[in-house]
Amino acid sequence: MTDTPKKNNRFGSWRRYSPSDMDSTKDFLMDMVTSCKTERECVRWLKSDLSTRGAKPVQETDDLKPGDTVFMDWKGRAILAAKIGRLGLESGVTVIASHLDSPRIDVKGRPLYEEGGLALLDCHYYGGLKKYQWTNVPLALHGEIHRSDGTCLSVVLGEREDEPILMIPDLEPHLDRDMEKRKASETIEGEDLDALVGNRPLGEEDLPIKEAISSLLREKWGLDEKGFLSADLSLVPSGPARLAGLDGSMIAAYGLDDRVCAAMSYKAFYDMEIPEKTAVFMAVDREEIGSESIGGAQGAFMDLFMLELLRASSLGTDVLSLRRLYSNSAAVSADVTSGLNPLYSKNYVRDQQPQMGNGVAVVKFSGRGGKYDGNEARGEFVASIIASLEKKSVPWQTGSFGRVDKAGGGTIAKYLARTGMDTVDMGPPLLSMHSPMELISVADVTSLYHAYMAIWEDLSSHN
């Protein structure tokens, strides 16, 4: 390794880590984001890996001891895991929480229709995206078909080279001479984000294209028209994560927001030795739309998981015990932030914006305008976070979401803080966030891994 840089030093991550230091984190991230493109796929992957490593469902566990690892799969939408620390739950826990959902195109409940000799799927976009970025790109169909008998069929189509892709067609410029009069937000209407799925009539009978596609769906997956309502199907960018840049210094992939944080916090979780304070890994759904619904951070599962930990540690399951646990605990909202894009420098403020290659970004407060809809960490807690990072020589920088009144964003931090845990946002800077392909520095991925490891290993000595 090279010499440790001072905080906020330019190219801090590149100067801190050697190429060999970066290989395992780079490979782990690229494998995970290629394999897991929906929150359900992520939960299944994480649950399988935890089970393979010997972790047990917390609901089935009693008499927890230091070093034990337990988990809870929350209805296939979120997952939590804990590695019990030497100090026991009496001293609290340290939570690192990320989200697994990313902007995408969801298939509606009665989607199949035909117009102009083409069959299409009626869709509804999910999350904050620029709609025009999702046309004319290769898309794959991912999801689950849930049947009334309780069985579930996982669906992935369009990822292999021998499989067809889907696509949302845009209007060619020859027929769109008025496009320069429209705002970017009006370039593509939400109702026009529908995917082409067919053009071939069925056999010699020349049945309508819609009927031909319906027949194919019944044959391939046993999916009829009413079955779409109970299916969870989404269109996501097709293809694997790729190295980017002439020097291969970046990773380009769908869903880096926020699966890079989930991947690196999970890798740190299983790589670390027995921590002093109990370490809690948490990965949730629905962050991109306000953390609502069954798998969102506003839901009941974190309380339930903590109560199960208290029960299995014989510490009581009353409300007072839960509140005391939270009050002795700390949390990191592991989420990405916006990196400096030199092509749009007017959207940033001087040195407030993190730069790719400079290390993990610590974001003291989030929100919009007058700090609405966000969390703000106490200064003393931020000081303890910085102390832990610097003790482990982890490169870090200040994070921000751009100009006041012109930018802003939220995370799950405010929901974690509502429990009484000190909470701060911390993650890497990205470019092209919420687009079909996002960009991150390979060096920052390694910095992120070591940052989360440092928080779990060292933060307990400061809070």
Q: Is residue 4 part of a domain?
A: no
> How buried is 181 (Cβ within 10 angstroms: 0-12 exposed, 13-18 middle, 19+ buried)?
exposed
pLDDT category at 311 given cuts 50, 70, 90 is very high
Q: Which residue has the tokens 């669906």?
A: 155
Q: At what angle do helices 442-458 and 19-35 cross, to 10 degrees?
A: 90
Q: Judge if 73 and 151 occupy the same domain.
A: no
Please name which of 65, 71, 73 lies closest in space to residue 89, comparing C-alpha atoms: 65
pLDDT category at 461 given cuts 50, 70, 90 is low
Q: Judge if 232 and 296 occupy the same domain.
A: no
8-state DSSP, 344: G
Whole-angstrom Cα Rg for the chain? 23
pLDDT in tens, 124-133: 999 999 999 9
Which residue, of 206, 237, 268, is where some domain finishes? 237
Boundaries of domain holding 140: 105-237
Q: How far apart are CA 375 and CA 415, in angstroms?
A: 9
pLDDT for the residue 373: 78
Q: Looking at residue 148, which CATH number applies to its domain? A: 2.30.250.10
Q: Is residue 244 part of a domain?
A: no
Looking at the structure of the chain, the number of domains it has is 2
Please tell me whether residue 36 adopts helix, strand or coil conformation. Answer: coil
Q: Judge if 92 and 113 occupy the same domain.
A: no
Q: Judge if 210 and 260 occupy the same domain.
A: no
pTM over 0.85: yes
pLDDT category at 404 given cuts 50, 70, 90 is confident
Q: How far apart are CA 456 and CA 265, in angstroms?
A: 10
Nearest 10 degrees: Cα torsion 146, 234, 45, 95: -110
Q: Judge if 311 and 448 occupy the same domain.
A: yes
Q: How far apart are CA 386 and CA 408, in angstroms?
A: 23
Q: Are 424 and 413 in contact (CB under 8 A)?
A: yes
Q: How far apart are CA 342 and CA 357, in angstroms?
A: 14
Torsional sign, CA 462, 386, 23, 99? positive
Q: Is residue 177 part of a domain?
A: yes
Q: Is residue 8 predicted with pLDDT exceeding 60?
A: no
Q: Judge if 158 and 298 occupy the same domain.
A: no
For all residues of the chain together, what is the average pLDDT? 92
Q: Is residue 111 part of a domain?
A: yes
Please name which of 42, 91, 81 lies closest in space to residue 58, comparing C-alpha atoms: 81
Give the whole-number percent of the chain exceeding pLDDT 90: 82
Please name which of 278, 381, 298, 251 lies closest in space to residue 58, comparing C-alpha atoms: 278
Residue type, 51: S
8-state DSSP, 365: B
Lowest mean pLDDT among 115-119, 186-190, 287-291, 392-396: 186-190
Q: Is residue 261 predicted with pLDDT exceeding 80?
A: yes
What does the block give as tokens for 131?
């709609």
